[in-house]
Amino acid sequence: MNAADPIIQIQNINKYFGSFKALDDVSLDVTVGEKVVVLGPSGSGKSTLLRAINKLETISSGSIIVDGHDLYDPAEDINRIRMELGMVFQSFNLFRHKTVLENLTLAPIKLKKMSKEEADQLALRLLDKVGIRDRAEHYPLQLSGGQQQRVAIARALAMEPKIMLFDEPTSALDPEMIGEVLEVMVTLAHEGMTMVVVTHEMGFAREVADQVVFMDEGAIVEMAAPDIFFDNPKYDRTKLFLEQIL
Amino acid sequence: MSDLEKKIDIGDGAAIPDPKDRGLFSAWWIALIGTISLLVFLPMFKPDPYGKVLLFIPDGILITFEVTILSISLALVIGLVTGLGRISTNRFFNLTASLYVEVVRGIPLLVQLFYIYFALGRFVLVPDLVAAVIAMSFCYGAYMGEVFRAGIKSIDFGQTEASLSLGFNQRQTMTYVILPQAWRTILPPVGNEFIALLKDTSLVSILAVSDILRRGREYASESFNYFETYTMIALVYLLITLILSKLISNMEHRLSYYERR
Ligand SMILES: Nc1ncnc2c1ncn2[C@@H]1O[C@H](COP(=O)(O)OP(=O)(O)O)[C@@H](O)[C@H]1O
Ligand SMILES: [Mg+2]
- Tell me the per-residue pLDDT of B128-181, one tens digit each, with 9 for 90 and over: 888 889 889 999 999 999 999 999 999 999 999 999 999 999 999 999 999 999
Pairing assessment for the beta strands A194-198 and A163-167 based on DSSP bridges: parallel
The identity of residue A149, as a single letter, is: Q
Q: Residue B258: which pLDDT band, with cuts at 50, 70 and 90?
A: low
Tell me which ligand sits closest to the C-alpha of residue A45. Answer: 1
pLDDT > 90: what percent of chain B? 49
Q: Please give the average per-residue pLDDT across B212-239, as a whole number.
A: 91
Phi, psi of A87 (to 5 degrees): -130, 135
Question: Angle at CA B155, nearest 5°, toward B16 and A165?
Answer: 155
Chain A positions touching chain B (beta carbons under 8 Å): 54, 56, 79-80, 82-83, 85-87, 89, 91, 93-97, 106-107, 110-111, 139-142, 152, 155-156, 159
DSSP conformation class of A241: H
What atom in ligand 1 is closest to the CA of residue A41? 22
- Tell me the per-residue pLDDT of A168-212, one tens digit each, with 9 for 90 and over: 999 999 999 999 999 999 999 999 999 999 999 999 999 999 999
Phi, psi of A208 (to 5 degrees): -110, -35
Q: How far is the CA of A166 from the centre of ligand 2 (A)?
A: 10
Closest C-alpha residue for ligand 1 atom 3: A17
Helix or strand or coil: residue A80? helix
Q: Is A42 close to ligand 1, i.e. is its CB under 6 Å away?
A: yes
Low-confidence ranges of chain A (pLDDT < 50): none
Q: Where are the domains of chain B?
A: 27-37+44-256
Return d(Cα A30, Cα A195) in angstroms, integer: 9
pLDDT at res. B261: 47
Q: How far is B158 from chain A (nearest CA, A)?
A: 5
Q: Are A132 and A101 within 8 A, CB to CB?
A: no
pLDDT at res. A121: 97
Question: Mean pLDDT score of chain B, rounded to an integer?
Answer: 86
Q: Please give the average per-residue pLDDT across B175-200, as a whole number.
A: 91
pLDDT at res. B5: 43
pLDDT > 70: what percent of chain B? 88
Q: How far is the CA of A200 from the centre of ligand 1 (A)?
A: 17
Tell me which ligand sits closest to the C-alpha of residue A42. Answer: 1
Return d(Cα B17, Cα B201) in angstroms, integer: 22
DSSP conformation class of A2: -
Residues on chain A touching B166 (C-beta within 8 angstroms): 82-83, 106-107, 111, 155-156, 159
Mutate to test the interface with A, among B160, B165, B185 (most CBs of A within 10 A): B165
Closest C-alpha residue for ligand 1 atom 7: A17
Closest C-alpha residue for ligand 1 atom 17: A45
| Spatial CA neighbour of B113 closest among B101, B102, B121, B124 | B121
Q: Do A79 and B257 touch (CB under 8 A)?
A: no
Q: What is the dihedral of CA B252, B256, B257, B261, to 10 degrees?
A: -130
Q: Do B164 and A56 touch (CB under 8 A)?
A: yes
Return d(Cα B68, Cα B76) in angstroms, integer: 12
Q: Are B48 and B232 within 8 A, CB to CB?
A: no
pLDDT at res. B257: 65
Q: Is A47 close to ligand 1, i.e. is its CB under 6 Å away?
A: yes
In this complex, the residue of A87, A91, A139 whose CB is nearest that of residue B258 is A139
Residues in chain A: 246
pLDDT at res. A158: 98
Q: Which residue of B has its CA nearest to A138?
A: B258
* All residues at 6 or more sequence positions from A199 whose CB lies less than 8 Å from its CB, including other chains: A37, A38, A39, A166, A168, A169, A170, A171, A205
> What fold, for B27-37+44-256?
MetI-like fold (1.10.3720)
What atom in ligand 1 is closest to the CA of residue A51? 17
Closest C-alpha residue for ligand 1 atom 6: A17
| Total-model pTM | 0.84
Residues on chain A touching B261 (C-beta within 8 angstroms): 141-142
Q: Look at B89 and B251; give whichever has higher pLDDT.
A: B89
| Lowest model confidence (mean pLDDT) among A186-195, B1-10, B233-242 | B1-10
- Tell me the per-residue pLDDT of B42-101, one tens digit each, with 9 for 90 and over: 999 998 888 888 888 888 999 999 999 999 999 999 999 999 999 998 999 999 999 999
pLDDT at res. B177: 97
Q: Do B168 and A155 touch (CB under 8 A)?
A: no
pLDDT at res. B210: 86
How far, in whole angstroms, is CA B19 from its chain's centroid? 19
Q: Is A22 close to ligand 1, i.e. is its CB under 6 Å away?
A: yes
Q: Residue B3: which pLDDT band, with cuts at 50, 70 and 90?
A: very low
Q: Is A86 close to ligand 1, i.e. is its CB under 6 Å away?
A: no
Return d(Cα B225, Cα A192) in angstroms, integer: 86
pLDDT at res. B26: 80
Q: Do A95 and B177 touch (CB under 8 A)?
A: yes
What atom in ligand 1 is closest to the CA of residue A49? 17
Closest C-alpha residue for ligand 1 atom 16: A45
In this complex, the residue of A93, A110, A139 whose CB is nearest that of residue B162 is A93
In this complex, the residue of B165, B177, B181 whose CB is nearest that of residue A87 is B165
